[in-house]
Structure 1
Amino acid sequence: MSAAPRFRPTLLLLAALSACSAGALQVRVLVVSGPQVTVRVPLPAPERGAGLGSGPLGAPAPLPAAAWAVGVTPDGSRLTLNGQDAGNVALYLPPTPGSVVEISSRTYRGGVQLRVQDGGVQAINVVDVEDYLRSVVPAEMPTSWPAAALGAQAVIARTYVAARINAAAPYDTCATERCQVYPGVRAETPASDAAVAATRGQVVAYGGQPASTYFSSDSGGYTASSAEVWGQALPYLPAQADPFSAGSPRARWRLEVGAEKVAEVAARYRVQVGALRSVAVTRLSPSGRPLEIALVGAAGTGRIDGANAGGFVRSLGAAGTRVVLDASALASGGPLVIEGSGAGHGVGLSQYGALGLARQGYSHLHLLGFYYPGTSLSVLAEVAEPRAQLLAGRPLPHPGAAWLAAHDVTGGVQ
């Protein structure tokens, strides 16, 4: 007898598509991709008297879980379940209130969509945006930090993913640092859960749309503009003094890079000048980051400019790009010395700056107003369509004029 009937009920359940209920903005997160993915889902509750017994003190016994090894057929055209052809290129277990799913040994809230991609399997967690944030916030910021800092992180994480909801794409975001770190249920904590609940639905908006809420660990005392880092000027992502970004592990750092590695990285930026004699910053951005770097070698001079200048510094292993270069030892075979402040690209919210502001008693709205000047606070509307729609917003506050004058903050604050 064929083994197929043993998994047919679950197969039918997985294959059924279910519309999202109104008000629940669902996020599709690519969590695993590979030749085979293991998925474990709870089985439906048994009928009364089914003979499974009960747990301690008469509580229902833990339900067994169905585990499925999901792969692809030899021709790579369809999914398989426990080695049996599922007859579909995609299977879907929709989320229900309180549902969880285990994907490759990690537990996530919501449901799962499985699809064939490039001869392998993609496992996409489909989860309510607020449940998604319960995992993202503690993965991106220490939960021992003040509630205002955690609240700001929750809002910018919600805004980030709301801007990426796209029904035409196979998924909206990924679970790694390339998008937002999303480890699943194991990352959740009471403090971060509280921050998500306290800011429910809140997003940063500009022009009626979710803003690009970039953030980094530590601005090094001065945020970078989006124009200098990525070549795209956004009015709410300016270069501005950031006096509260202090006290991070990367507030001041030093790095030595051998001449061979400097030459190797420069070649990636199409600069090859032979044996290096000097490397110098020849033009700075308004935030004090390199906009042009000149490399002089035995075969001539080359330049790396614009956003590539910062990319070159980061590719050398630097934590950030607010740096001073010392190439005095290169000619004699020594290293290039890089001294810098801060960590990350420096655009938008600085997490250590948010920590400093929160410790001064400012709310999460003030933090957002300072790092994204000219934006407004909006709320996600309740819609049935798989997209993010914003309600009318109100301007975000920022620290008052007296505070700005006392800390000599200029540029970008309105």
Structure 2
Amino acid sequence: MIRNLNAKRSYSRLILLVLLLAAVVSSSTRMTVHAAISVPDNIRVALYVNLGTNKYQSITSIATLQSAGGIKLSWKDPQASFPVGSVPAGQGVRFAVDGYRALLLETTDLNAAIIVLKKVQASSSAAFVTQLTKSGKTVYQVTEGVYSSVAGASSALAKWTNAGVATGIQSLVSARVLGPWSVETGPYASAAEASAAADMIGNAGLDAYVALKPKDGALNYVVRIGQEKDATTLTAVQEAATSAGGMNVRIPAAGEPYAVVRTDMTYNGSANKPVSLYAIPSGAGAVLRADPEGAGGIQVIERSKRTYRGSMEMSVLNQTLAVVNDVNFEQYLYSVVGTEVSSSWPIEAQKAQAVAARSYALSTGLGFQIAHVVDTTNSQAYYGIGSENANATAGVTQTAREVLTLGGKVINAVFSSNAGGVTADNTLEIWGGDNSFLATNVQSPDSVAQTDKRDWYYVALPSGQTGYIRDDLLADSGQTHSSGAKLLNVISEGTAVRSEPRIVSTVEPIARVGSGTIVIQLNKVGENTDFTWVKAPMTPEQLLTALNKRAKTPITGPLLTLEVSKRGPSGRATEIKANGIPVNVGVPDNLRGALNGLQSTLFQIDETGRYTVLDGSGNSREMPSQGGTLQVIGSGGETRALTDQKVYIMDGKGNLRAATTSPQFIFSGKGNGHGGGMSQWGARALAEQGYDYQYILKYYYKNVTIEKDART
């Protein structure tokens, strides 16, 4: 009996052990489901794109590319792709729209052209010196702008002419508007033949340029003659070009694709490095593609000289130049993760960021018409190879092709820098709609952003000014103000008093005070970070301008009061009132931009000009809505009108408060970003506490599955 009993117990233990193991396996966050999710090999990232009014716009008049290993150019269209040629290592190539321009000067003197160029460059990024052959001489045309209409170029021409940028310099032709209307001769067998033809026609005094043109399954070389502002002069240009020896001179139909090749003398702001500039027409669907030759990426000069993996495609959308980076999806994420989170953060935080970023990018589709995403925080920050690091790359490669799904679809895995300690309510506090996969009102360990940061004192100076002084520059004097507030002693000569509790090298202190100065402590706050912040005082005029850019119904000034009138479950503002009237700015997250660029909607407003005054008879007056002068009584009983901007009053709790005699507004808050989905600082803290990336993701995104592309 004893033997059988032990056998039963052993068998029971075995069953229990198997059940426990099964439970552990089934609940492990490390399980990844392999499903039919397809993660593409490449992603299209728009560096410059114009989607139209009230939509995303990132506009440039010119794009300059170069690569340490050289660039291979090709013409791309829906039917075929044709090689164009190569750009040598380290040499630039430029792209623009063949639009309307203001011709300011034509001269044989390059130095004279540069003088005019520099004057124009002082206030325009679209100034060019173009070299061409005319009347047996090399001439230089100075132009400004790439305009979509004659009217735009005409207005620019009048402005530059009135400014006298070319005064005193002899021009071979009168200043005028140039345009994309031309006649065409060719085709020619090679670029060299087309160039010789352009020189021959140019010797007759005509503007002539080599151009690329697809026809009959091949890319041809032609010469485009004239830079006319409309079609009315084309017949005369055609006759002149024929007389000059042009063959098969014709007036091309509107909409025919081409790319004019100009010799540009303004590469990278310099006038001594001639490079090719490819001018692409509007509406013709032409796409020029640049691929790096060798291991190096492609540098885009106008995009802060950043260098990118993959290829660049230049086209025209909505009459402006579009530049799209066609890059390997996983390599794109190397830079996104490297840009979005610090390289020093734990690997599990890197991995969580990689999966969230991959999911977000995949969920958007071609959300930007010719691109999936853009390179700014309108999608997610992407700054090229220079932002990559080994830790970020490891986070991407260790989660290769993993995405977050709900109901078999990839979720729009939005994230923000810092949730301020609690994530936003996904239905009431951000954008509305169905965002049920975003964890609502979840505590987030975001205060890690405050680690090792100093506190700052908000103080009143003897001059009456108020500002912030870092705590290590002050000491307790052991004394108190008559109001009961502490008096602090400045311990460093020339101590800076700042408008916000942080040091910003580009912002001058509001004052400097000497050692031994006694100041009054009004408050003590943490240094401005992604977790906690205070904005410098804003004037009614600043806020009224910002609000009326977003308000559905404009606010009539002056702005006297501004208050949070509704908050959501996490404490975020969902409605504000200006002068007692609700302001409709659309979805609650729009309040950040409407209030002059606040970090988050988890904020408080200190209306320094708003308080209640009791007179000697007990009558009350609400400031500032009930205006008028204030009278103060001195210790000797004398009265005087209060004209100082800064005043100090006791609030209802007996605390000393800095106030103003006219409206001003100070915002203080928590967090940075919309607060939905994953908090990046929260992910770091959870990783530091030992949680893996899958736990982190499922903490911030609810009811989701982590799926992996079945191809890997």
Structure 1 residue corresponding to 2:418, chosen from 196, 218, 225? 218
Point out the more displaced range, 165-174 or 356-365. 165-174
Q: Distance in 2 between matches of 1:204 and 1:123?
A: 29
Pair 1:356–1:275, CA change in 2 (3 A): same
Deviations 1:270-329 (A, max 9, x none): 242543443222221111112222222xxxx41025854542344323211111223252
Contact residue 96 and residue 111 of structure 1 kept, 8 A: no
Which residue does the alignment assign to 2:309?
A: 109
Q: Distance in 2 between matches of 1:153 and 1:379?
A: 16
Find the residue that maps to 1:280 and give its secondary structure.
strand
Pair 1:326–1:44, CA change in 2 (3 A): closer
Q: Distance in 2 between matches of 1:152 and 1:134?
A: 13
Contact residue 160 and residue 213 of structure 1 kept, 8 A: yes
Q: Does 1:380 align with 2:709?
A: yes
Q: Distance in 2 between matches of 1:243 and 1:118?
A: 43
Deviations 1:351-402 (A, max 9, x none): 11111111100001111000001111012344xxxxxxxx9xxxxxxxxxxx
Q: How does 1:97-246 map to 2 (within 5 A)?
A: 100-104=297-301, 105-166=305-366, 169-227=369-427, 228-246=429-447
Please tell me whether Structure 1 or Structure 2 has the larger radius of gyration of its CA atoms. 2
Q: How does 1:7-406 map to 2 (within 5 A)?
A: 25-32=41-48, 34-40=60-66, 42=69, 64=89, 67-73=92-98, 74-75=179-180, 78-81=258-261, 82-83=276-277, 89-93=286-290, 100-104=297-301, 105-166=305-366, 169-227=369-427, 228-248=429-449, 249-255=529-535, 256-268=537-549, 269=551, 270-296=553-579, 301-304=580-583, 308-316=587-595, 317-330=597-610, 331=624, 332-382=661-711
Find the residue that maps to 1:220 and give its secondary structure.
coil
Find the residue that maps to 1:71 and give its secondary structure.
strand
Q: Structure 1: where are the runs of 5+ without partners?
A: 1-21, 46-62, 383-390, 392-414
Contact residue 314 and residue 320 of structure 1 kept, 8 A: no
Deviation (angstroms), 1:71: 2.9
Contact residue 38 and residue 103 of structure 1 kept, 8 A: yes
Find the residue that maps to 1:194 and give its secondary structure.
helix
Pair 1:223–1:83, CA change in 2 (3 A): closer
Point out the more displaced range, 354-363 or 265-274. 265-274
Deviation (angstroms), 1:141: 0.7
Find the residue that maps to 1:222 and give its secondary structure.
coil
**Which amino acid is the alignment partner of residue 145 of structure 1?**
W
Find the residue that maps to 1:240 and give its secondary structure.
coil
Pair 1:80–1:207, CA change in 2 (3 A): farther
**Which amino acid is the alignment partner of residue 31 of structure 1?**
L
**Which amino acid is the alignment partner of residue 703 of structure 2?**
G
Contact residue 430 and residue 589 of structure 2 kept, 8 A: yes
Deviation (angstroms), 1:157: 0.9
Contact residue 96 and residue 280 of structure 2 kept, 8 A: no
Find the residue that maps to 2:393 and give its secondary structure.
helix
Find the residue that maps to 1:246 and give its secondary structure.
helix
Q: Distance in 2 between matches of 1:107 and 1:38?
A: 12
Deviation (angstroms), 1:225: 2.7
Which residue does the alignment assign to 1:14?
A: none
Higher relative contact order (CA 8 A, sep 6+): 1
Contact residue 606 and residue 667 of structure 2 kept, 8 A: yes
**Which amino acid is the alignment partner of residue 39 of structure 1?**
L
Contact residue 40 and residue 67 of structure 1 kept, 8 A: yes
**Which amino acid is the alignment partner of residue 40 of structure 1?**
Q
Q: Distance in 1 between matches of 2:358 and 2:589?
A: 28
**Which amino acid is the alignment partner of residue 674 of structure 2?**
H
**Which amino acid is the alignment partner of residue 354 of structure 1?**
A
Contact residue 70 and residue 292 of structure 2 kept, 8 A: no
Q: Distance in 2 between matches of 1:97 and 1:139?
A: 25
Deviation (angstroms), 1:66: 5.9
Q: Distance in 2 between matches of 1:208 and 1:310?
A: 28
Pair 1:69–1:363, CA change in 2 (3 A): same
Which residue does the alignment assign to 2:620?
A: none
Pair 1:324–1:376, CA change in 2 (3 A): same
Q: Distance in 1 between matches of 2:329 and 2:599?
A: 31
Give the TM-score, by structure 2 length.
0.44
Deviation (angstroms), 1:140: 0.8
Query: What is the RMSD of the two structures over their aligned residues, measured on CA atoms?
Result: 3.0
Q: Structure 2: where are the runs of 5+ without partners?
A: 1-37, 49-58, 73-87, 99-178, 182-256, 262-275, 450-528, 611-623, 625-660
Point out the more displaced range, 223-232 or 137-146. 223-232
Deviation (angstroms), 1:197: 0.8
Contact residue 250 and residue 343 of structure 1 kept, 8 A: yes
Contact residue 420 and residue 446 of structure 2 kept, 8 A: yes
Pair 1:64–1:275, CA change in 2 (3 A): closer
Q: Distance in 1 between matches of 2:560 and 2:355?
A: 48
Pair 1:38–1:216, CA change in 2 (3 A): same
Q: Distance in 2 between matches of 1:168 and 1:189?
A: 28
Structure 1 or 2: larger strand share?
Answer: 2
Pair 1:170–1:79, CA change in 2 (3 A): farther
Contact residue 291 and residue 305 of structure 1 kept, 8 A: no
Find the residue that maps to 1:204 and give its secondary structure.
strand
